[in-house]
Amino acid sequence: MIFNDTIVALSSGRLPAGVAVIRISGPQTRFVIETMSGHLPLPRQAVLRAFYSQGDGEILDRGLLVFFPGPRSFTGEDVAELQIHGGQAVVSAMLKELTGFQHVRSAEPGEFTRRAFMNGKLDLVKTEALADLINADTQAQRRFAQRNADGAQSVLYADWRKRLIHARAMIEAEIDFADESDVPGSVAATIWADTACLAQEIEKHIEGFTAAEIIQDGFRVVILGAPNAGKSSLLNALAQRDAAIVTDEAGTTRDLLDIVLDLGGLKIIVTDTAGLRENPGRVEAIGIEKAQARGKKADLVLFLEDMSDPQMVEIDWLAGDHIKVGTKLDLIEFDQTQHDQYDFCISHLSGHGIADLLEAIKQKAEARLAAAGDILPFRMRHVELLEESLEHLTEAQNTLQPLEIRAEELRLCANLLGRISGAVNVEDLLDVIFSQFCIGK
Ligand SMILES: Nc1nc2c(ncn2[C@@H]2O[C@H](COP(=O)(O)OP(=O)(O)OP(=O)(O)O)[C@@H](O)[C@H]2O)c(=O)[nH]1
């Protein structure tokens, strides 16, 4: 696709910095380079150049210039990257000079990537993965985004579409040549067996979204227990700072308080909650309601009990995974029978058991990820399209429907899969997807 205007942006991070990278893409790129720095350098080779102002011939800066002639560039157009000194004034003078050329303007957020997509350099899934790679905070997020950007997911969907298109072709052949028995019944049986298999694969793939959410948004750990059980003390010990207020007054914590941990590269969100007890005050009751709601949505609940003063707390409503933790170990005489009631016994005073508990949280999170496959849908958008395509595939299996309708359901299913990677009709999605990017990407 040919764009008339050339776009320019600072592609590197916050200024001042040692080096700043300015990126230019579009049909004016060659002219701009030649005007500001002399002849075009060899493709993809870094050269040291002075960059001159058109107005008074002043040198604005010296730096490295790399020229990537289209179509072998990130956007598919002529692209140049200028590595210059990362000072505020240097960069603003250079950007002002560049956008002073005719048909050259500042890029919108994500516009370079959008051009890459329009020119067939990236598909939508890879584009989204690239946005995630740029925003990755933890090593697990980086590795996951890297894998998605490599395109394994797009290959999987392309393979599914191929199977569907083949199935549809065979079914249509059966419709067209029914009388001539050119398509033996056994072929149709094989096709329907394969589409049934595909439906299972898609279903399993959709289930993997939970694992993707854990990687992207974090593994949610919620600390629950009676007032004074030591919940806030545990949160502070895990955070290694005073994130929550700790007093000996029962009911100190009224609201939810989150901290974020990086455990072995995984993002873990730990939430402190209001103590669970019967007949709380009005404000406390709201806190308890919130605690229960968060506990129900948690990936893991740490249920704390003060070993020196155990309280009866109703936790039957807890459906998910939980670890029972005995606290204030330092206050009690050793008693094996009492120890055996808990998965872990800890003391914030002595630090006993905290490291083991952290390790257990990490292992629980890793186990959840290991259970999912390698290729996961990583946007709600993917899941919605997958679910819709699965509905059509299920409908296609319905032997009560005429063959024509079943074939049409296969076509609809393939189209929806095509929308995930952008192979089919996605104009309406583009603004949403590219707005996730920063300027210069
Ligand atoms: N001896 C001892 N005291 C502890 C330990 N952990 C917590 N405490 C004390 O127990 C009291 C309550 O601790 P918190 O961490 O505020 O308990 P909580 O469960 O958050 O309490 P609420 O906010 O009221 O629900 C404080 O005085 C803590 O210093 C421990 O391991 N040993």
Q: Is the CB of 228 inside a 6 Å radius of any atom of ligand 1?
A: yes
Q: Check pLDDT > 90 for residue 98.
A: yes
User: What is the reported pLDDT for 60?
Assistant: 96
pLDDT tens digit sequence for 111-160? 998 899 889 888 889 888 988 898 898 998 998 899 888 888 889 999 99
Helix 124-135 / helix 139-149 crossing angle, nearest 10 deg: 160
Task: For CATH 1.20.120.430, list the domain ranges present in the chain.
Answer: 130-208+377-434
Residue type, 43: P
Nearest residue CA, atom 11 of ligand 1? Answer: 248
Rounded distance between C-alpha atoms, residue 344 and residue 354, angstroms: 9
Q: What's the complex ipTM?
A: 0.96
Q: What CATH number has the domain spanning 130-208+377-434?
A: 1.20.120.430
Rounded distance between C-alpha atoms, residue 172 and residue 329, angstroms: 72
Task: For CATH 3.30.1360.120, list the domain ranges present in the chain.
Answer: 6-107
The topology under which CATH files domain 6-107 is Gyrase A; domain 2 (3.30.1360)
Q: Is the CB of 229 inside a 6 Å radius of any atom of ligand 1?
A: yes
What angle is formed at CA 219 by the lines to CA 373 and CA 231, rounded to 5 degrees? 150
Rounded distance between C-alpha atoms, residue 255 and residue 122, angstroms: 45
- Rounded to an integer, the average pLDDT of 226-248 is 83
Q: In this structure, are residues 342 and 176 in contact, taking their beta carbons and an 8 Å threshold?
A: no
229 labeled part of a ligand binding site: yes
Q: Is the CB of 331 inside a 6 Å radius of any atom of ligand 1?
A: yes
Q: Is the CB of 415 inside a 6 Å radius of any atom of ligand 1?
A: no
pLDDT tens digit sequence for 249-266? 776 667 788 899 888 888
Q: Is 9 in a helix, a strand, or coil?
A: strand
User: What is the reported pLDDT for 433?
Assistant: 59
Q: Is the CB of 179 inside a 6 Å radius of any atom of ligand 1?
A: no
User: What is the reported pLDDT for 239?
Assistant: 84
User: What is the reported pLDDT for 276?
Assistant: 81
Q: Which atom of ligand 1 is nearest to the CA of 273?
A: 25
Q: Check pLDDT > 80 for residue 52.
A: yes
Q: How far is the CA of 327 from the centre of ligand 1 (A)?
A: 9
Task: For CATH 3.40.50.300, list the domain ranges present in the chain.
Answer: 215-371
296 labeled part of a ligand binding site: no
Residue 212: burial class (beta carbons within 10 Å; 0-12, 13-18, 19+):
buried
pLDDT tens digit sequence for 267-309? 999 999 887 877 777 777 787 888 888 989 999 999 999 999 9
> How many CB atoms lie under 10 A from the CB of residue 116?
23
Rounded distance between C-alpha atoms, residue 128 and residue 421, angstroms: 10
Pick the range with the lowest mean pLDDT from 29-43, 95-109, 283-297, 374-388. 283-297
Q: Which atom of ligand 1 is nearest to the CA of 347?
A: 31
Rounded distance between C-alpha atoms, residue 345 and residue 325, angstroms: 6
> How many CB atoms lie under 10 A from the CB of residue 248?
6
Strand (E) or helix (H) holding 325: strand 322-327
User: What is the reported pLDDT for 3?
Assistant: 77
* CA 146 to each of CA 185, 206, 219, 361: distance values in angstroms, whole numbers, following the listed order: 45, 20, 20, 25
Q: Check pLDDT > 80 for residue 386.
A: yes
- Rounded to an integer, the average pLDDT of 357-382 is 89
Rounded distance between C-alpha atoms, residue 91 and residue 393, angstroms: 54
Rounded distance between C-alpha atoms, residue 441 and residue 11, angstroms: 6
Q: Is the CB of 250 inside a 6 Å radius of any atom of ligand 1?
A: yes
Nearest residue CA, atom 5 of ligand 1? Answer: 328
Nearest residue CA, atom 7 of ligand 1? Answer: 230
Q: Is the CB of 83 inside a 6 Å radius of any atom of ligand 1?
A: no
- Rounded to an integer, the average pLDDT of 199-203 is 95
User: What is the reported pLDDT for 353?
Assistant: 93
* Cα-based torsion angle of the residue sequence 308, 314, 316, 321 in order, rounded to the nearest 10 degrees: -40
Q: Is 273 in a helix, a strand, or coil?
A: coil
Beta strands in 190-264 (DSSP E): 219-225, 257-263
Q: In this structure, are residues 214 and 368 in contact, taking their beta carbons and an 8 Å threshold?
A: yes
The CATH architecture assigned to 215-371 reads 3-Layer(aba) Sandwich (3.40)
Q: How far is the CA of 282 from the centre of ligand 1 (A)?
A: 22
> How many CB atoms lie under 10 A from the CB of residue 246?
17
- At 183, the pLDDT band (50, 70, 90 cuts) reads low
- Rounded to an integer, the average pLDDT of 4-17 is 91
Q: How far is the CA of 248 from the centre of ligand 1 (A)?
A: 6
Q: Check pLDDT > 70 for residue 200.
A: yes
247 labeled part of a ligand binding site: yes
Q: Return the closest-CA partner of residue 38 out of 7, 16, 59.
A: 59
9: β partners: 23
User: What rounded mean pLDDT belongs to the chain?
Assistant: 88
Strands of the sheet containing 300-306, edge to edge, are: 257-263, 266-272, 219-225, 300-306, 322-327, 344-345
Q: What tokens does 308 get?
A: 């020196």
Q: Which atom of ligand 1 is nearest to the CA of 250?
A: 24
pLDDT tens digit sequence for 301-336? 999 999 999 888 887 778 789 999 999 999 988 788
231 labeled part of a ligand binding site: yes
Nearest residue CA, atom 26 of ligand 1? Answer: 248
DSSP state at residue 43: B
Rounded distance between C-alpha atoms, residue 404 and residue 393, angstroms: 14
Q: What tokens does 420 get?
A: 């995930």
Nearest residue CA, atom 1 of ligand 1? Answer: 328
Q: Is the CB of 271 inside a 6 Å radius of any atom of ligand 1?
A: no
Name the most confidently modeled range: 348-357, 365-374, 427-436.
348-357
User: What is the reported pLDDT for 91?
Assistant: 96
Name the most confidently modeled range: 78-82, 149-153, 213-217.
78-82
Q: In this structure, are residues 66 and 114 in contact, taking their beta carbons and an 8 Å threshold?
A: no
Q: How far is the CA of 336 from the centre of ligand 1 (A)?
A: 23
Q: Return the closest-CA partner of residue 11 out of 137, 136, 134, 139.
A: 134
User: What is the reported pLDDT for 441?
Assistant: 64
Q: Check pLDDT > 90 for residue 36.
A: yes
Q: How far is the CA of 230 from the centre of ligand 1 (A)?
A: 4
Contacts of 26 (CB under 8 A, 6+ apart): 3, 5, 6, 7, 77, 78, 103, 104
Q: Which residue has the higher pLDDT, 421 or 77?
A: 77
Q: How far is the CA of 289 from the centre of ligand 1 (A)?
A: 21
- Rounded to an integer, the average pLDDT of 412-418 is 92
Q: Return the closest-CA partner of residue 121 out of 86, 72, 164.
A: 72
